[in-house]
Amino acid sequence: MERIPSDVVNLVEDLRRQIRRHDHLYYVLDSPEISDADYDSLYRRLEELEAAYPDLVTPDSPTRRVGGKPLEKFNQAPHAEPMLSLSNVFDEHEVLEFDRRVKKVLGTAPDLAYVVEPKLDGLAVELVYENGRLSIGSTRGDGYVGEDVTANVRTIRAIPLRLEAKGFFASTPRIDVRGEVYMNRADFDQLNRSRDEEGLPSFANPRNAAAGSIRQLSPKVTASRPLNFRAYGVGRVLGPMPATQMDILEGLQHLGLPSNFGNASLCGDIRTVLQRYRELRELRESLPYEIDGAVVKVNSLAHQSALGLKTRSPRWAVAFKFAAVQALTRIVRIEVGVGRTGTLTPVAVMEPVDVGGVRVSRATLHNQDEIDRKDIREGDTVIIQRAGDVIPEVVGVVKENRDPSSRPYRIPDRCPVCDSAAVRLEGQAATRCVNSSCPARLKETIRHFASRNAMDIEGLGTKLVEQLVDRNLIANVADLYSLDLEAVASLERMARKSAGNLLDALERSKQVPADRFLFGLGIPLVGEHAARLLMEEYGDLETLAAKTAEDMEGIHGIGPEAAQSVAAFFNEPRNMEIVRRLLDAGVNPMPLKPPQGAGSSPLSGKTVVFTGTLSLPRAEAKRIVQDRGGKVSESVSRKTDFVVAGDAAGSKLDKARESGVTILSEDEFREMTAH
């Protein structure tokens, strides 16, 4: 093994320590100290060093979260202790019943206490840590045998790949941690918006989204989903056990796992339990994630064993569920809106009704599949539900009240705005208007472009966009910058002064950070976050536009679908034409920072071909070259500057020799790229 300089070893360890610390601050303590951009730069430095010194790579390095190939199917993963579920109770009466049953078994135990924890609405998983290293992650399955989703849970940054040796469980050789994988509401909304744009079916709720994301055969897909984790208990533990549930939660927290420790309340009697439940119900809407109730657990483990288990659930705990707020109303009609990518979205327009204090008169029906599944028709009496989420949904139809002459609803096959054909492609949930210049699409596109987090064109609201498009003053976003005062002042409710203000706002919008410009282009699946990652990586738009989907997939946080979408956008000449016109009009997307190391590296501007077997993965080798401003090509040609030859290199090496291209060994390549 080649000798690795000790300062490199130390630096790699230090970077890993820093990254773990920031993961911990962010996910466990909920108090990040650095920006996402600074975090990403630590991460990138570690990736580069590991690429240059593959011998230093360890399986629990933060960079090894995504790896491996998609699975054919999930393997079975037996649980050392069964994963039980909880019996549900729905009112205070039933909770008092539970308390009575507990006291019947324990008698007058003076130290009886309960722990009340929020019941996160996600998916239960078990994480096996052996000697502090995450070895298996599995779903609950039937409680005895789950599915092995190790590769997927490894991609969740809230889940440490190795534990801290702190607190009660510090020297436990094996601990099976139980907890919930879930999705924050804001992340869920963002994910669904992107999926809607892609024509993919949206997830009904964060729980489904979390469950669907964990059960993916390709860990890359899981990695691109914003999952989170919180531990609430343990299964098998080799080693001593603490005395109480509270101690378990604290012990888990000390291991560096986000646990319910900070959210759990210790209650000396059942009255206090009820009080805490009511508090949680009040808090519910303001939490960043969905909870569907409170879990009430007997605190003492000795008490828990005295109480024992039923077949599928313990006698020492219950789930006290929140009643979902529901109401009945009638669908007056179903309207169809057309979005930025031409997707026709059916919306139920209902007789206004109060659902848990909020007046509701519209609810999205998502797509034809959703409508068919629930058999929703115009005129139907429906049950509306507002879950923890503020977005109301139609849960079902009261069929008894249905008008016998009603017909199943079909999304129209013509666009309600431009009357072009609306088609649903094989395998897609969305029905789309085929007319790429449909005024509805155009209006949405422009509205998005002008929005606060994109170009931030003050004063360019929905009404104004409508008029500009309807009067044919603009046919795309680039036309905005050729508007003149006369034209704008001729619009309804537009005094000369406000017309002037709009032109000023347009002028001001030209100096825009490149990521906001990219976001404003409205590329499907490219939200603000993805736009920032892309621009941080590539610096300027031109560089980005030249990248392939494969290149972009190498960026931490960019999923394969988003990468495809960006590449497809820049491959479309009509899109490039609009971008060019925007730039010609003086729009100046300001680079976030120059690409790392470009200009100073011997690889800057060079084309490199890899051949033969290398010890470092191709994707990483490629990234090293790209990060230094170079390009990787598949075949040797006149444009090739270097051929890096690994073991058993074949025809490409011969060709390189023939054409006199500089040939590097892998060691030489590493030397050239290390710093």
If the CB atoms of residues 294 and 521 are measured against ligand IVH, the closer one turns out to be: 294
218, 227 contact by CB (below 8 A):
no
If the CB atoms of residues 232 and 538 are measured against ligand IVH, the closer one turns out to be: 232
Min dist. Cβ of residue 124 to ligand IVH (A): 3
Given CA atoms 205, 210, 216, 218 in this order, what sign does their dihedral have?
positive
Name the active-site residue from 119, 547, 606, 631.
119
If the CB atoms of residues 87 and 272 are measured against ligand IVH, the closer one turns out to be: 87
Given CA atoms 624, 25, 256, 213 in this order, what sign does their dihedral have?
negative
Query: 356 — alpha (psi -120 to 50), left (phi > 0) or beta?
Result: left
In DSSP notation, 313-357 reads SBTTEEEEEPPPEEEEEEEEEEEEEE-TT-EEEEEEEEEEEEETT
Contact residues for ligand IVH, defined by CB under 6 A: 84-86, 117, 119-120, 124, 140, 180, 232-233, 260, 295, 314, 317, 319
Min dist. Cβ of residue 499 to ligand IVH (A): 56
- A 10 A CB-CB count for 237 gives 19
Min dist. Cβ of residue 250 to ligand IVH (A): 14
Min dist. Cβ of residue 654 to ligand IVH (A): 59
Min dist. Cβ of residue 230 to ligand IVH (A): 8
Integer Cα distance of 288 and 183 in angstroms = 9
CB proximity list for 154: less than 8 A, separation 6 or greater: 64, 65, 66, 67, 134, 137, 161, 219
Integer Cα distance of 286 and 354 in angstroms = 20
Min dist. Cβ of residue 86 to ligand IVH (A): 4
Count how many Cα atoms sit within 13 Å of the Cα of residue 97 in the half-sphere of its side chain.
11
Min dist. Cβ of residue 259 to ligand IVH (A): 9
If the CB atoms of residues 132 and 388 are measured against ligand IVH, the closer one turns out to be: 388
Integer Cα distance of 529 and 230 in angstroms = 24
If the CB atoms of residues 185 and 532 are measured against ligand IVH, the closer one turns out to be: 185
394, 348 contact by CB (below 8 A):
yes
Name the 3-class secondary structure at 439: helix
In DSSP notation, 536-601 reads HHH-SHHHHHT--HHHHHTSTT--HHHHHHHHHHHH-HHHHHHHHHHHHTT-EEE-SSPPTTTTTS
If the CB atoms of residues 229 and 570 are measured against ligand IVH, the closer one turns out to be: 229
CB proximity list for 176: less than 8 A, separation 6 or greater: 79, 80, 81, 126, 127, 128, 129, 234, 235, 236, 237
DSSP state of 25: I
If the CB atoms of residues 260 and 431 are measured against ligand IVH, the closer one turns out to be: 260
Query: Environment class of residue 359 by beta-carbon count within 10 Å: exposed (0-12), middle (13-18) or buried (19+)?
Result: exposed
CB closest to ligand IVH, residue no:
124
Residues in the chain: 675
631 is catalytic: no
If the CB atoms of residues 298 and 469 are measured against ligand IVH, the closer one turns out to be: 298
Min dist. Cβ of residue 225 to ligand IVH (A): 18
Min dist. Cβ of residue 434 to ligand IVH (A): 44
Buried b (16+ CB within 10 A) or exposed e, 621-635: bbbbbbbbbbbbbee
DSSP strand pairing (123-130 vs 174-182): antiparallel
If the CB atoms of residues 314 and 346 are measured against ligand IVH, the closer one turns out to be: 314
Query: What percent helix, strand, coil does the chain show, rounded to 5?
Result: 40, 20, 40
Give the catalytic positions in this structure: 119
